[in-house]
Structure 1
Amino acid sequence: MPKTIQFIKSAVLAKDYPVSRKAEVAIAGRSNAGKSSFINALAKNKVAKVSSTPGKTRLLNFFDMEDSYNLVDMPGYGFAARSGDEMKEWHMMIETYLMTRENLCGLLLIMDIRRAWTQDEELLKEFSDRRGFPMAVVLTKADKLSRSQMLQAVAKIKKTSGLSAVFPVSSLKKEGQNAVEDYMYENWVKDL
């Protein structure tokens, strides 16, 4: 099982992606969902930049999971302060990566546990269904809710999304990340 995560490189264009035959897991989510904090909690180290301003990640950031597989942190969606041209470039960058990366084996959708499933998340799920790769949901900031509220939130997302792989995590308490990592490895990465 991977123990260390190292930053490989950032890219926008397909020609700049790292050359790799290893399985890749993409990470998507809203700009303020806690993607970087989740990656850092997985790494048990600060490998991904965490910003107090949502929408700072504007590139595809590739991370090596100790020679086992790669994680790819995609820029967050739902941040309104971007210009129309920036949004078009963002859509093109994300779509190109998701449509053309042959070693992409799954998509982790990172959501704040206090948010509802919206049309944005549904579109991402429909896209992953069409593309034929599996998706799991990671509900961050689980420490903000009581245990019963957390279980209700997980059940609600499972029902609304139709996905069974839904994981509550807390970067603050360092809880849940191992379950996500084990799931990715066992179900998406191991047999590739």
Structure 2
Amino acid sequence: MDRTLIVLVMPKSIQFIKSAVLAKDYPVHNMAEVAIAGRSNAGKSSFINTLSKNKIAKVSATPGKTRLLNFFNMEDSYVLTDMPGYGFAARSGDELREWQRMIETYLSVRENLRGLILVMDIRRSWTEDEEIMKRFSEREGFPLAVVLSKADKLSHSQKLQAIAKIKKATGLSAVFATSALKKDGGEEVERYIFENWIKE
């Protein structure tokens, strides 16, 4: 496909569809879905707003506010599913178990899921929490891409070092640096997922 055509058909805005917890409440459609995961303070909502060129995802000063699966229509090109963040210590044991059931159910049963975007603060190292998400994606057979958010916090050389570090730790080639503040990197991520996960 011609690159100019790809840019033209890529989504430019997002429409919120609905929130859900149980599989029976997931939206019904025939589009591919891309899930987005990350720590509670990784910058997932800011990244979604970067993709949409709009403040459709609420950015909270308090990490861990998202409790549901939130589905967004990317201009009828695909659906983005924002999953509740992990690593929020203030949640109770019951909440953590509910979160785990909700996430594992979605990732296991959603037939039109095409890939998972894992958002990380670029200043953090790869940890066991991220490794669990990677192993889960491998087990379920869908691809994983890593988005390193808040890239404006580092110099250009530091940013390149951070990307190389995550690539080495994960063995993944799909690692991207983004900045919601500078509105940078989102188009590269979207082009990648469109070309590799969506258009087929």
TM exceeding 0.5:
yes
**Distance of 2:46 and 2:131 partners within structure 1:** 23
Q: Confirm whether residue 66 of structure 1 aligns to residue 75 of structure 2.
A: yes
CA distance in 2, matches of 1:167, 1:9: 28
Deviation at 1:36?
A: 0.3
Question: Deviating runs (4+, > 6 A) in structure 1?
Answer: none
How big is each residue's C-alpha offset from its partner over 1:110-169, in whole Å with a ceiling of 9 and x where there is no partner?
000000000000111011001000000000000000000000000000000110000000
Q: Distance in 2 between matches of 1:90 and 1:114?
A: 25
Distance 1:3 1:142 in 2: 22
Q: How does 1:1-192 map to 2 (within 5 A)?
A: 1-191=10-200
- Letter aligned with residue 109 of structure 1: L
TM-score by length of 2: 0.95
Q: Distance between the aligned counterparts of 2:129 and 2:30, measured in 1?
A: 30
CA distance in 1, matches of 2:55, 2:152: 20
- Give the deviation of 1:67 after TM superposition: 0.3
State the secondary structure of the residue aligned to 2:81.
strand
Per-residue deviation at 1:49?
Answer: 0.7
Q: Could you tell me the percent identity over the aligned residues? A: 76
Segments of 5+ residues of structure 2 without an aligned counterpart are 1-9
Distance (whole Å) between structure 2 residues aligned to residue 175 and residue 46 of structure 1:
15
Output one character per residue of 1:58-96: Cα deviation in whole Å (capped at 9) or x when no partner: 000000000010000000000000010011100000000
Deviation at 1:3, TM superposition (A): 1.1
| Alpha-carbon distance between aligned partners in 2 of 1:109 and 1:4, rounded to the nearest angstrom | 21
- The unaligned stretches of length 5 or more in structure 1 are none
Q: Give how far 1:4 is off.
A: 1.2
| AA of the residue aligned to 1:128 | S
TM-score by length of 1: 0.99
What is the root-mean-square deviation in Å for CA atoms of aligned residues? 0.4
CA distance in 1, matches of 2:81, 2:147: 15
